[in-house]
A and B are shown apart, each in its own frame.
Chain A
Amino acid sequence: MPIRKVMKANEAAAWAAKLAKPKVIAAFPITPSTLVPEKISEFVADGELDAEFIKVESEHSAISACVGASAAGVRTFTATASQGLALMHEILFIAAGMRLPIVIAVGNRALSAPINIWNDWQDTISERDTGWLQFYAENNQEALDLILIAFKVAEDERVLLPAMVGFDAFILTHTVEPVEIPDQELVDEFLGEYMPKHAYLDPAKPITQGALGFPAHYMEARYGVWEANENAKKVIDEVFAEFEKKFGRKYQKIEEYRTEDADIIFVTMGSLAGTLKEYVDMLREKGVKVGAAKITVYRPFPTEEVRELAKKTKVLALLEKNVTFSVGGALFQDFSRALVNESEKPKIVDFILGLGGRDVTFKDLDEALAIAQKALTGEEFEEVNWIGLRKEIL
C-alpha cells in the first residue's frame, strides 16, 4: 500500500530518486535544492538506496560524472538549481547529444545578478535549447511523480534524452505538503531495470563515445536530438496513461481548468498554477468567463495541445516567471510560433511577474486581467507587461 507522508518537494524528489533506484548520483550543494542530495545521502548511509553517491566539487563535475556513469550504462540522477544548472550548461548539450537519459531535479531559482535564491524559472528556461526534456511540477506530489515519469520517458528507446523536472524554489522546495509515496514494487514494474543498448563502456564490447563530428555528420546527430524530442510527445502521452493506470494520478502536457466557454485563458507553469486555479474560481463566481491552463511539459513543446487550447478562447494571457530581453517571456515566443500560421487565433498577451521570488497576489492577477480584457474588447494593449513592478524605486 502506498504511504502518505508530509514532506517538502526536495524530500519528494529524493524519494522519487530512491524509488527509481539510480546506481550513481553525483551532486553539489546549492540553495534551494541542497536537501535533495542530503536526503539521498541519508538513504545511502542507511542502506535504503543501493547507489554510489559522488560528492563532487562542483555542478560541472556533477553532471560530468553523471554523463560518465550514464555512458557506462547505469541509471543516474542529480539535483541542482540556478547558478548550479547554469554551471552545467555546457555539459547539458553534451548529455543530450550523447543521448544519455540522465534525470535532474531542479529547484527553480532566479539567476544572478543580483544574487537571489528565490523562485523564478529563468534557470531551466535558459536551458530550453539544450535538447533536454522539461517537466514543471505544480506541487510536491507532482515533483515526485514527474521525476518517475521523466526517467521512464527519458529511457524509452524512441527518446533516449535527458530530462529535468522543475519545482519552484521555497514555494515547493521548502514547503511541506502531504505526498503519497508509491509502492516500490509498482515503481519497479513501471520503470523496469535500465538496460541501455546504445551507451555503455564494456571492455568485452568496446565502443567509442563522444567522437568528433565533422560537417558531414554533425547535422544528422543534431537532427537525432530533434527527432527524439518529436518522438517524446507520443511517448509522454503513453507514459502519462500508464502512470495513471498504475498510480491513479492523471497528467497531461497541458492541464486545463475551467476553460469551457472562456473568453480569457490564463496560462502558466509550476506552483503558480495553484494560485491561478483559485483566482479563476473566484472570477467564475463573479461570472467572469476565464479559465486556466498549466504547462506540465515544456520540452518537447506541446504545439498541438496549444493549438487546441487556442481554439477555445479569444485571449491567451501568459503568466511567466522568466524573461527573454527585448522579446518577452519564453512562453510568449513558443505560443506565438505555435499559432502563427493558424487562420483563427486568439490574441496573446504576455505577463512577466514573480521574478526572484516576488509574491504573485490576486492584486497582481487583477492587473493582468485588466490588460487581458483590453485585448478582449479590442482596445490597444501592450504585448509584454511587467506586473508587480515597484515603480517608485525604479
Chain B
Amino acid sequence: MAVRKPPITTREYWAPGHAACAGCGCAAALRLATKAFSEAMEEKYGDPNAFAIAQATGCMEVVSAVFPYTAWKAPWIHVAFENAAAVASGVEAAWKKVGRKGKILAIGGDGGTADIGMQALSGMLERWHNVVYLMYDNEAYMNTGIQRSSSTPYGAWTTTSPPGKLSIGEDKPKKWVALIAAAHQIPYVATASVANPYDFIKKMKKAAKVDGPAFVQVQCTCVPGWRAPPEKSIEITRLAIETGVWPLFEIENGDFHNIKIQAPGGGAKVKREGGRIVAIEFKKPIEEYLKLQGRFKHLFKQPEAIDIMREQIKAMWKVLGVDVILPKPEE
C-alpha cells in the first residue's frame, strides 16, 4: 500500500505533555512553527536541528518549561518578558563567533512583542541579526489573566478593558505590528494564521531561509481569553480571515508598494490589477467571527460599535492598498 509522505516533518520540537489548555491555538502555532523551522534548517544547512529558541515570558513559556520538565526538544532559553529579541541577538552573535551554522528563533506573545518588547524587537531587526521573530498573537495578556495589550482589537472585553456604562470594551484599534516590523526594511515580514497551517508553514520556512531578520505574526486563539469553546479555535481563526478581520500578507525588504495580499476565501470576491489584489468584497460579515467569542458578546447590544469596527478594518486594508467591502448581516 502506498503511504503518502506527511505534509510536514514528523519530528517534534514542542513535545506533548506541555500544560497549555485544550484547543490552544498558540500551542498549535508553536508546534507547526518549529517543525517548519526544522525543515528549513535541513534544506538550508543539511541539519534539521540547526536552531535555538529564545522565548519571552508569557503563556507559551510558562506552559512549556516547568522545572524539572520541559516540552522543548530544541535548545531553548527564556530570560524575561521584554527581551526575547535582545537575548536572541546575543545567541546569534555567539553562534556566529563560534562558527555554528543555523538560525535563531525568537518567540514572543503580543504583550511581549507589541508592548514591552517593542524596543528590543526594533533593535534586533535594525541590527540585522539572523533571527526569525515569531509573534504569537492571542490579542491580550493571557498569561496574567486576560488584560488588554496594544494588540487587543477594538471592542474586545478583557479584564482591563471591561465593557460598562461608559465603556465599549477595548476602545483603541489593534496595533499594526507587522507593518512596524516591515518599516525596518528587513528581508521578510508575514502575517499568518493557525487556521491556514500550510500557509503558515510556508511562511515560517521562507522566514527561516532568508539571510537576515524576519518577522512573522500568527493570529491564534486563547480559549479562556476569547471566551470561546476549545473545539472552535480553528473555525474562529478561519473566520477572522474570511470576514476581513485578519489579513494575510507578506512584505519583503520593506517594500510597501508591493505588499503580497492573499485571497481570503469564504466566498470573497477578489479584484486584481496586474496580479495584485486591489479590492476584496467579503461575503461573510464580521459578526460571524465575533459571535463565536464571548469577548465580543456585549457588542451585539450596540451594533454601532460593530460598525466602528468595520470602519477600522477598512482603514487597515486601505493601508495595505486594498479597498474592501464588508457586508452587514442580513436583517
Contacts and interface: CB of A to CB of B under 8 A. Distances in A.
B96 interface: yes
Nearest to A58: B119
Given A23-B97, A64-B79, A94-B80, A214 B89 contact: no
B79 A67 contact: yes
Nearest to B83: A64
Interface in A25-80: 26, 50-52, 54-58, 60-61, 64-74, 76
B90 A213 contact: no
Given A24-B93, A61-B89, A203 B49 contact: yes
A206 B75 contact: yes
B62 A212 contact: yes
Max chain B CB contacts within 10 Å: which of A69, A76, A210?
A210
A362 B33 CA distance: 67
A204 interface: yes
Interface in B78-111: 78-80, 82-83, 85-98, 102
Contact of B95 (A57, A65, A72, A212): A72
Interface in B122-146: 122-123, 126-127
B74 interface: yes
A61 B73 contact: no
A68 B86 contact: yes
Given A58-B123, A61-B86, A68-B94, A211 B79 contact: no
B49 to A, nearest CB: 4
Contacts of A204: 49
Interface residues of B, number: 45
B90 A69 contact: yes
Contacts, number: 160
Interface string B1-18: 000000000000000000
A210 B65 contact: yes
A135 to B, nearest CB: 24
B323 to A, nearest CB: 37
Interface residues of A, number: 45
Nearest to A56: B123
Contacts of A58: 119-120, 123
A72 B80 contact: no
Q: Which of A68, A73, A208: most chain B CB closer than 10 A?
A: A68
A369 interface: no
A202 B97 contact: no
Contacts of A217: 67-68
Interface string B276-309: 0000000000000000000000000000000000
Given A72-B95, A73-B98, A203-B102, A26 B82 contact: no
Interface stretch (B50-58, B242-250, B262-270): B50-58
Contacts of A57: 119-120, 122-123, 126
Contact of B80 (A65, A70, A76, A91): A91
A361 interface: no
A51 B120 CA distance: 21
A49 to B, nearest CB: 11
Contacts of A201: 52, 75-77, 91, 94-95
B113 to A, nearest CB: 15
A369 B324 CA distance: 82
A213 B97 CA distance: 31
A72 B67 contact: no
Contacts of B88: 68
Contacts of B256: none
Lowest 4 CB-CB distances: which A-B pairs, in order?
A68-B90, A57-B123, A65-B90, A64-B86
Interface of B: 47, 49-52, 54, 61-62, 65-68, 70, 72-80, 82-83, 85-98, 102, 119-120, 122-123, 126-127
26 contacts: A23-B94, A24-B93, A26-B90, A52-B94, A54-B90, A57-B119, A57-B120, A61-B123, A64-B83, A64-B87, A65-B90, A66-B90, A68-B89, A72-B95, A91-B79, A91-B80, A203-B47, A203-B52, A203-B74, A203-B102, A206-B72, A206-B75, A208-B76, A209-B77, A210-B77, A214-B66
